[in-house]
Amino acid sequence: MSFKSFSDFMPRQDILSFAVLALILLVVLPLSLDIFRLNLVGKYLTFAFVAVGLVLCWGYGGILSLGQGVFYGLGGYALAMFLKLESSDPESTRIQSTPGIPDFMDWNRITELPWFWEPFHSLTFTVIAIIVIPSLFAYLIGVAMFKRRVGGVYFAIITQAIAAIMTILIIGQQGYTGGVNGITDLRTLKGWDIRSDFASYVFYFLAVVLLFVCLFLAQYIRRSKLGRLLVAMRGQEDRVRFSGYDVANFKIFVFCVGASFAAIGGAMFTLQEGFMSPSFVGIVPSIEMVIFCAVGGRLSLVGAVYGALLVNFAKTVLGETFPELWLFAMGLLFIGVVMAFPNGLAGLYNSYVARYVDRLLDKVFGPQRSSDAYRPASSDTVPPAAPGLRQNSTSPTEGAIS
Amino acid sequence: MTAGSNTDFVLAVEGLTVSFDGFKAVNDLSFYVDENEIRVIIGPNGAGKTTVLDLICGRTRATAGSIKFRNQELTKLKEHDIVKAGVGRKFQNPSIYGDLTVFENLEISYPTGRSVFGALTFKRTDAVVQRIEEIADMIFLKDQLHTEAELLSHGQKQWLEIGMLLIQDPTLLMLDEPVAGMSVTERQQTAKLLRTITKDRSVIVIEHDMQFVAEIADRVTVLHQGRILAEGTAEKVKADPKVVEVYLGH
């Protein structure tokens, strides 16, 4: 443990925000929503995983990935492959010309299970693959980009291109991937019906628990020296390099962490919705994921969760009523947030509410023991103005991706 | 690339050349820095002063020539390995981490936990805190440890960056215009600071202010168009007619 005390790891305001989020997700929502709505929230939460990863990558590290959908998809597809194989036993697929392989393969006249599908018969392999494959892919991208000092806008564009390539690949290789429909009709997990109401409850709570695991991991990284290094690199990469750090390694690390969080989110999506499709992999969903993070506040882990919940909720409500308008609304929202509230909802909270909460906490628990003597008392609750507004970057949008 | 000879010098630069699209910013440059020497590099704009520091610290790669630091060839090392070998460099514009506090700025520069795993498990021990306070005292920022570095004055930022180098305890310290933009009092304080920190290490300073140069320099190297124009004590260099013509005259 690299912290002297628990309050170094979690200052008072962080404990409060984690606790409030836990209360909402574990008590308030399950008690007040029916299972259909709760399942929707569970689906939104899968995007919160991505948003939390983006807080580390983008908010802290300044690495804007417009291709997080790729990792979300890889995680989701890995689990979908396992579930699909389970529901494609020879008995239930006996009407196919080749029984025992997924239905879409049969439709595409494939007569043998492709080699890369074979290991997905094993649940253990699948669970490991959900984390390892996306992390490995992120590692390869990271090495190729960051070791060559590709960054900023160029990195964002390349990740976006990778998202596009991935979608095209999945859609094009219909026989191996299920094509544009994705992998559908997933029914059981080790013989257990994943479509029952009870399963939905279980998966919802599983998603919440895993999200908190990710949140605590992210909090650990954020509060460690590595977190401060990321902030340092964001503005003065050369200074960090000439202080004896191999800057690329830190970027690769945080990019891999972001990718694995996204992959867990993707897998939880598959589990809760019973399918995975390329529509969660491409450019548009990847950009949406960045918007969740921006709206919630790219420097706030908990904020990113609220961002994912609120934007997705708005998407469901508005998207159902005005489907054509939704994309425009989303674009406006992104521009508006980046221009006017670069720190998102969390920034608003910190500027206007946090100090009252702090005073209240002072009254209840007494003044905060100076857990971190080398930060001004309020500086953790009032994060620095957005990097976008600093002198290092000339415009908010540029700051957002530099 | 020439092999470069082994010497007793801390730094031996031999035949160093760098060309940017045919333009030779540094041209067949050779100079040697002794243990505990303060070397000042002066010269008109575009003489290649900053480029020389860039070459030593690995920011720019040499086209030809050799840079030996305690007989270790630097031209092929990565930037962070050059730092680990014991070379510290201050940039011309103060490069500090504005979003972090003075304490955190110094802490990041503290030379342990430089790998990913090391940074994740780095612990703020009493030894670290003590060392940071010691350095902060030296650079006149002891009362500012909690301040976000962005809020410091220009001069304080310069000191902070010097402090960030000091905490690494480099054998060779390179300072690019450390007193640029400072007030007279700050300048005097900096001269005093430089004299204390230059004990037990070699220092290369780029500076324009001749009075300041005379005050601190053991030896002065005058660069002009990527070549050495003159070298020697401050008085000798000041009296050199060639130096007066290209640099001091106007």
Which pLDDT tens digit goes with each residue over A54-108?
Answer: 999 999 999 999 999 999 999 999 999 999 999 998 888 888 888 889 999 999 9
Taking residues B146-163, what's their average pLDDT? Answer: 93
> Residue B24 region, left (φ>0) first, then alpha (ψ -120 to 50), else beta?
beta
Cβ neighbour number for residue A118 with a 10 Å cutoff: 11
Q: Which residues of A, range 359-378, sit inside 8 Å of B by Cβ?
A: 373-376
Give residue A373's pLDDT band: very low, low, confident or very high (50, 70, 90): low
* Residue A401 reports pLDDT greater than 80: no
* Residue A174 reports pLDDT greater than 90: yes
Residue A2, pLDDT score: 66
Q: Evaluate the CA torsion angle A205, A211, A217, A219 in order and state its sign.
A: negative
Give residue A377's pLDDT band: very low, low, confident or very high (50, 70, 90): very low
Taking residues B148-172, what's their average pLDDT? Answer: 93
Q: Which residues of B touch A225 (CB under 8 A)?
A: 107-108, 113, 119-120, 122
**Dihedral in degrees, nearest 10, Cα atoms B61, B63, B65, B69:** 0
Residue in B with minimal Cα distance to A374: B146
Q: Which residues of A touch B164 (CB under 8 A)?
A: 239, 243
Task: Select from B100, B114, B123 the Cβ nearest to the Cβ of A232.
Answer: B100
DSSP A383: P
| Angle (nearest 5°) at CA A377 between A347 and A211 | 50
* Residue A389 reports pLDDT greater than 90: no
**Burial of residue A198, with CB atoms counted within 10 A of its CB: 0-12 exposed, 13-18 middle, 19 or more buried:** exposed
CB neighbour list of residue A208: distance below 8 Å, 6 or more residues apart: A22, A25, A26, A45
* Residue A14 reports pLDDT greater than 50: yes
The identity of residue A329, as a single letter, is A
Q: Which residues of A touch B167 (CB under 8 A)?
A: none
Residue B250, pLDDT score: 53
Residue reference for tokens 């100079």: B31
Residue reference for tokens 């506040």: A297
DSSP A367: S
Q: Evaluate the CA torsion angle B20, B21, B24, B25 in order and state its sign.
A: negative
DSSP B226: T
Give residue A359's pLDDT band: very low, low, confident or very high (50, 70, 90): confident
* Residue A321 reports pLDDT greater than 70: yes
* Residue B106 reports pLDDT greater than 90: yes
Q: Coil, strand, or helix at residue B213? A: helix
Residue A402, pLDDT score: 35
Helices A283-296, A301-321: crossing angle, 10 deg rounding: 120
CB neighbour list of residue A328: distance below 8 Å, 6 or more residues apart: none
Range of the domain at A64: 6-401
Q: What is the pLDDT of residues A198-243, one digit of tens each?
A: 999 999 999 999 999 999 999 999 999 999 999 999 989 999 999 9
Q: How many Å apart are CA B203 and CA B210, to the nearest integer?
A: 17
Taking residues A145-150, what's their average pLDDT? Answer: 94
CB A80 within 8 A of CB A270: yes
Taking residues A247-265, what's their average pLDDT? Answer: 97
Q: What is the mean pLDDT of chain B?
A: 90
Q: Which residues of B touch A379 (CB under 8 A)?
A: 101, 148
Residue in B with minimal Cα distance to A373: B146
Question: Does A236 contact B115 at a Cβ distance shorter than 8 Å?
Answer: no
Taking residues A143-149, what's their average pLDDT? Answer: 95
Residue in A with minimal Cα distance to B129: A374
Residue A383, pLDDT score: 45
* Residue A382 reports pLDDT greater than 70: no
| Per-residue exposure over B67-97, b if at least 16 CB sit within 10 Å of its own CB, e if not | bbbbeeebbebebbebbbbbbbbbbeebbbb
Q: Cα B178 to the chain's mean position, in Å?
A: 9
Task: Select from B95, B146, B147 the Cβ nearest to the Cβ of A236.
Answer: B95
Shortest CA gap A104–chain B (Å): 44
Shortest CA gap A10–chain B (Å): 15
The pairs formed by B45-49 with CB atoms below 8 angstroms and a separation of 24 or more are: B46/B225, B47/B223, B47/B224, B47/B225, B47/B226, B48/B223, B48/B225, B48/B226, B49/B176, B49/B206, B49/B223
Q: For the domain B11-248, what is the CATH superfamily, name and number?
A: P-loop containing nucleotide triphosphate hydrolases (3.40.50.300)
Give residue A319's pLDDT band: very low, low, confident or very high (50, 70, 90): confident
* Residue B149 reports pLDDT greater than 90: yes
Taking residues B95-123, what's their average pLDDT? Answer: 93
Task: Select from A224, A245, A387 the Cβ nearest to the Cβ of B80.
Answer: A245
Q: How many Å apart are CA B89 and CA A329, to the nearest integer?
A: 49
* Residue A28 reports pLDDT greater than 90: yes
Residue A211, pLDDT score: 98
Q: Which residues of A touch B103 (CB under 8 A)?
A: 374
Q: Cα B9 to the chain's mean position, in Å?
A: 17
Q: Coil, strand, or helix at residue A286? A: helix
- Tell me how far CA of residue A375 lies from CA of A383, B105, B221, B224, in angstroms: 11, 12, 43, 46
Q: How many Å apart are CA B61 and CA B57, to the nearest integer?
A: 9
Shortest CA gap A63–chain B (Å): 17
Give residue A372's pLDDT band: very low, low, confident or very high (50, 70, 90): low
Cβ neighbour number for residue B230 with a 10 Å cutoff: 21
* Residue A52 reports pLDDT greater than 80: yes
Residue A235, pLDDT score: 86
Q: How many Å apart are CA A275 and CA A279, to the nearest integer?
A: 11
CB A52 within 8 A of CB A300: no
Q: What is the mean pLDDT of chain A?
A: 89
Is residue A231 within 8 angstroms of chain B, CB to CB?
yes
CB neighbour list of residue A60: distance below 8 Å, 6 or more residues apart: A222, A227, A230, A231, A234, A254, A299
CB A63 within 8 A of CB A229: no
Is residue A234 within 8 angstroms of chain B, CB to CB?
yes
Copy the structure tokens of residue A219: 């909090």
- The residues spanned by each domain of chain B are 11-248
Residue A8, pLDDT score: 84
- Tell me how far CA of residue B123 lies from CA of A392, A402, B22, B111, B169, in angstroms: 30, 30, 49, 13, 20
- If one compares A2 and A11, the residue with the highest pLDDT of the two is A11
* Residue B166 reports pLDDT greater than 80: yes
CB neighbour list of residue A314: distance below 8 Å, 6 or more residues apart: A329
For A14-28, A147-161, A244-258, A363-377, which range has the lowest pLDDT when averaged over its residues? A363-377
Is residue A186 within 8 angstroms of chain B, CB to CB?
no
**Burial of residue A111, with CB atoms counted within 10 A of its CB: 0-12 exposed, 13-18 middle, 19 or more buried:** exposed
CB B234 within 8 A of CB B213: yes
> Residue B71 region, left (φ>0) first, then alpha (ψ -120 to 50), else beta?
left
Give residue A376's pLDDT band: very low, low, confident or very high (50, 70, 90): low
Question: Does B91 contact A224 at a Cβ distance shorter than 8 Å?
Answer: no
Residue A1: inside a domain: no
For chain A, the domain total comes to: 1
Residue in B with minimal Cα distance to A376: B146
Q: How many Å apart are CA A18 and CA A223, to the nearest integer?
A: 15
Taking residues B69-87, what's their average pLDDT? Answer: 93
Cβ neighbour number for residue B173 with a 10 Å cutoff: 24
Give the residue from B101, B225, B166 showing the smallest Cα distance to A374: B101
* Residue B1 reports pLDDT greater than 70: no
Q: Cα B156 to the chain's mean position, in Å?
A: 17
| Per-residue exposure over A357-374, b if at least 16 CB sit within 10 Å of its own CB, e if not | bbeebeeeeeeeeebbeb
Residue B4, pLDDT score: 63
